[in-house]
Amino acid sequence: MRNLNLDQLQTLIAIADLGTFAAAAQALHLAAPTVSLHIKELESRMDAQLLVRGRKQTTLTAAGQVLMEHGRKLLQASDDVVERVQRRASGREGLVRVGVSAGVSTWLLPLMLNALQQRSPGVEVRLEAVGSAESMQLLTAGALDVCIVASPQPAQAGIVIMPWRLDSIVALLPADWGAPERVSAEWLSQRRWSGFSAPTHMQQQIANWFGQAGYTPRPFMAFTNTGALKSLALAGQSAVLLPREEVQDLAPLPQVQIRPLQPTLLRPLAVAHRQDLALNPAISPVLAVLSEFANLNLQKQQPNDVKPYC
């Protein structure tokens, strides 16, 4: 059985709306014989007379009226499908799965999601909290579309890795601790401190920071959840090492104090995605928003003579 031809339906509706074959032909930019052929084939397909030609105007039969009413819905549905496909193909609509490693600022994430919603409301982001190594594996396997990971990461075929941020690590301390202006590894190694649990890049960076000063202290407690870490400092139980953006909202609170580290410790982050963006064009607006939150200007983060730990 042949399916309905949407062009023929459109011709029938144009004749019903405009009243004559000639007017429909002009409106649809079709030759008069083509309009007649459309109706002839449509009536053959329906096995029913659809139109009655009058001297001045053509009218629908009862069968033609039914077909016109349902035909309008079919044409609207067709237009909706085309629009949806075009939105998906252009990246204005779609689902993007984003892997986020431990320590990525929970202060930044809402800002980025809000910016994306403002500019690309048809793009939905699904966040998954996974470690950097696992994120890269899922990205390669096609289970993720974009990853925010610790840097550096080994190069992989078909994967683009772009430097994204260099975030300063600071010490969040109980307010009653007599802390120096800049916290050193020596000072902190003699006190209770907490950080991210192994095997994260953050944990490795902090261990290297202590190690370069000749210390290997064990953390008082280790978590993968930044909220749990901050609660330790707020309760006066421990110092906590976290990115500055993660703790800056706590600065006004009387229970804690924030101190930079000496020497400076920077946490480098990268954005990774599959090279072929045509597989999911909605990735492009997500990458555009991420690029606006990049922070690679060291001049604003540290003195000229201080080199970052990576």
CATH number for 72: 1.10.10.10
Residues 146, 231 within the same domain? no
H/E stretch holding 65 reads helix 62-90
Domain span at residue 213 reads 167-265
pLDDT for the residue numbered 213:
94
Residues 177, 235 within the same domain? yes
Residues 10, 75 within the same domain? yes
Residues 148, 289 within the same domain? yes
Distance from C-alpha of 226 to C-alpha of 29, rounded to nearest angstrom: 64
Residue 87 pLDDT level (bands cut at 50, 70, 90):
low
Kindly tell me if the per-residue pLDDT of 305 is higher than 60. no
Burial 119-134 (b: 16+ CB within 10 A, else e): ebeebebeeeebbbbb
Residues 62, 118 within the same domain? no
Kindly tell me if the per-residue pLDDT of 242 is higher than 80. yes
Last residue of one domain, picked from the residues 66, 90, 114: 90
Domain contains 309: no
What does the radius of gyration of the chain's CA atoms come to, in whole angstroms?
Answer: 32
CB proximity list for 42: less than 8 A, separation 6 or greater: 5, 8, 9, 11, 12, 50, 67
Residue 3 pLDDT level (bands cut at 50, 70, 90):
confident
Q: Are 268 and 162 in contact, with CB atoms under 8 Å apart?
A: no
Residues 153, 105 within the same domain? yes
CATH number at residue 285: 3.40.190.10
Residues 284, 149 within the same domain? yes
pLDDT for the residue numbered 306:
31
Domain contains 187: yes
Residues 105, 247 within the same domain? no
Q: Who has greater pLDDT, 290 or 88?
A: 290
Residues 179, 127 within the same domain? no
The pLDDT of 242-254, averaged and rounded, is 90
Residues 77, 17 within the same domain? yes
Q: What tokens were used for 21? A: 């074959």
pTM above 0.75, yes or no: no
Number of domains in the chain: 3
Kindly tell me if the per-residue pLDDT of 77 is higher than 80. yes
Last residue of one domain, picked from the residues 42, 69, 90: 90
Residues 29, 71 within the same domain? yes
Domain contains 84: yes
Residues 261, 271 within the same domain? no
Q: What is the pLDDT of residues 115-128, one digit of tens each?
A: 999 988 989 899 98
Distance from C-alpha of 276 to C-alpha of 274, rounded to nearest angstrom: 6
Least confident window among 101-115, 138-152, 158-172: 101-115
Instruction: Give bridge partners of residue 161 from the DSSP assignment.
Output: 272
Q: Let me know how long the chain is.
A: 310
Domain contains 155: yes
Q: Who has greater pLDDT, 93 or 122?
A: 122
